[in-house]
Amino acid sequence: MALVVQKYGGSSVADAGCIKRVAQRIVATKKAGNDVVVVVSAMGDTTDELIDLAEQVSPLPPGRELDMLLTAGERISMALLAMAIANLGHEARSFTGSQAGVITDGSHGKARIIDVTPGRIRSALDTGSIAIVAGFQGVSQDSKDITTLGRGGSDTTAVALAAALDADVCEIYTDVDGIFTADPRIVPTSRRVPRISYEEMLEMAACGAKILHLRCVEYARRYGIPIHVRSSFSQKEGTWVVDTIEGTAMEQAIISGVAHDRSEAKITVVGVPDKVGEAAAIFGVLANTEVNIDMIVQNVSAASTGRTDISFTLPEADGQTAMAALNKVKEQVGFESMRYDDQIGKVSLIGAGMRSHPGVTAKFFGAIADAGVNIEMISTSEIRISVIVNQDDVDGAVAAAHAAFDLDSEQVEAVVYGGTGR
């Protein structure tokens, strides 16, 4: 008998019909002799609609209240799913994140899990019940307030529970048949990746592949939880995210995929005096506002002025906060002005085989040039190359890179069932 944790995304529980279908799938897993813990997201677009509603009553809703509101979305789907399972003659019990023992820090909207104490889930399993847990939420250790883990955080709830319960596998159900070599919505000829390492998946998630929450992959790697990403709309085998794919019969692909991200913005700090401590001052200010910086580029200073420009990218959502914080220290740091650009996109090529294969960078840049796309910034890691381009050029650059590395499949194998990517 295995312990299986299954997570169903918003598109898999979008309406009553979907919930009944998912209930059947869960019951089938239970009947096959497994203990089953299910994590659910809010139905369809519920979370977006709740955020909209909040913004209609307040331009800047307090984090505590926004979390209280958003967690209601998952409460609805967990209770409905438990009812649908009961209707099939099986015992199911729903639990909020707090009841399931998901303990977090107090950072509303982006809380981190500190501990998971799933005593009530264990008891439910011991009595033969299926446990249904609300994703993306927890309770703050200090304030005892309800928190959320950030958009897409239900994946992380699922892996955290799988780790705490020592589950055999964590299945993440979505509306595509697994992880593809590029977003099938942009490249219809992208291929399903059968297995991918945590390391590569981390880079993919960090580079905008929204299929898995970044922290879910970090968590899975730390605790060695195998993740199976698959569609709730088909019975097909999806993608296994596992420790390492070396040692398997398969030869390691050089490139595992092309990811893209339209959610970042670029700030250029113009005319920064070229002297010791300037970068530390600028990024110190940003760190204090808890803004995460992604790429950074500093140019050589012009000999005539002794000044330089520093550009960096950050989540668009943090753009105004960062601009305001920097503006406050303009005199003190001594830079001249700032430019803000949210019409950018990031395109990244990811593959562990890059380490041992020369020429990957040249081929990637060549493909982007052939597509007539201008590169604004570049950054690399051992297994990734990313470029910043104009937002309108993202699709073209993704398709060009995908083709250049022979990732296109002969036939269209990617089916987008739900269409929302949840």
Tell the smallest beta-carbon distance from residue 233 to ligand ASP (Å). Answer: 17
Report how far residue 348's alpha carbon sits from residue 354's, in angstroms, rounded to the nearest whole number. Answer: 13
Residues contributing to the site for ligand ASP (CB under 6 A): 9-10, 41-42, 47, 73, 135-136, 151-154, 422
Tell the smallest beta-carbon distance from residue 80 to ligand ASP (Å). Answer: 14
CB nearer to Mg ion: give 39 or 310. Answer: 39
Q: Enter the tokens of residue 100.
A: 């399931």
Q: Enter the tokens of residue 181.
A: 């070599």
Tell the smallest beta-carbon distance from residue 148 to ligand ASP (Å). Answer: 8
Report how far residue 42's alpha carbon sits from residue 13's, in angstroms, rounded to the nearest whole number. Answer: 8
Contact 75, 134 (CB under 8 A): yes
Q: Which residue is nearest to Mg ion (CB)?
A: 152
Report how far residue 164's alpha carbon sits from residue 378's, in angstroms, rounded to the nearest whole number. Answer: 39
Q: Are strands 239-242 and 195-197 parallel, antiparallel or unpaired?
A: parallel
Report how far residue 224's alpha carbon sits from residue 163's, in angstroms, rounded to the nearest whole number. Answer: 8
The entry of Mg ion, ligand ASP, none that residue 10 binds, CB within 5 to 8 Å by partner kind: ligand ASP
The entry of Mg ion, ligand ASP, none that residue 41 binds, CB within 5 to 8 Å by partner kind: ligand ASP
Tell the smallest beta-carbon distance from residue 404 to ligand ASP (Å). Answer: 33
Distances in whole angstroms, Cα of residue 317 to Cα of each of 63, 94, 107, 177, 266? 15, 33, 16, 30, 12
The entry of ligand ASP, Mg ion, none that residue 153 binds, CB within 5 to 8 Å by partner kind: ligand ASP
Residue 192 gets which letter from DSSP?
A: B
Contact 260, 347 (CB under 8 A): yes
Give the CA dihedral 346, 240, 18, 45, nearest 10 degrees: -20
Interacting residues with Mg ion between 102 and 121 (CB under 5 A): none
CB nearer to Mg ion: give 101 or 152. Answer: 152
Report how far residue 204's alpha carbon sits from residue 198's, in angstroms, rounded to the nearest whole number. Answer: 10
Tell the smallest beta-carbon distance from residue 415 to ligand ASP (Å). Answer: 21
The entry of ligand ASP, Mg ion, none that residue 136 binds, CB within 5 to 8 Å by partner kind: ligand ASP
CB nearer to ligand ASP: give 74 or 395. Answer: 74
Tell the smallest beta-carbon distance from residue 203 to Mg ion (Å). Answer: 17
Report how far residue 159's alpha carbon sits from residue 118's, in angstroms, rounded to the nearest whole number. Answer: 13
CB nearer to ligand ASP: give 34 or 104. Answer: 104
The entry of Mg ion, ligand ASP, none that residue 156 binds, CB within 5 to 8 Å by partner kind: none
CB nearer to ligand ASP: give 18 or 333. Answer: 18
Q: Are strands 296-298 and 384-390 parallel, antiparallel or unpaired?
A: unpaired
Q: Enter the tokens of residue 420.
A: 């929302």
Report how far residue 187's alpha carbon sits from residue 349's, in angstroms, rounded to the nearest whole number. Answer: 14
CB nearer to ligand ASP: give 42 or 111. Answer: 42
The entry of ligand ASP, Mg ion, none that residue 151 binds, CB within 5 to 8 Å by partner kind: ligand ASP
CB nearer to ligand ASP: give 72 or 297. Answer: 72
CB nearer to Mg ion: give 44 or 152. Answer: 152
Tell the smallest beta-carbon distance from residue 154 to ligand ASP (Å). Answer: 3
Tell the smallest beta-carbon distance from residue 93 to ligand ASP (Å). Answer: 21
CB nearer to Mg ion: give 268 or 420. Answer: 420
Which residues have C-beta within 8 Å of that of residue 1, sequence separation ≥ 6? Answer: 33, 34, 35
Helix H segments across 244-293? 278-288
184 binds Mg ion (CB under 5 A): no
152 binds Mg ion (CB under 5 A): yes
Tell the smallest beta-carbon distance from residue 387 to ligand ASP (Å). Answer: 27
Give the CA dihedral 170, 174, 178, 180, nearest 10 degrees: -140
Query: What does the binding site for Mg ion look like in residue numbers (CB under 5 A)?
Result: 152
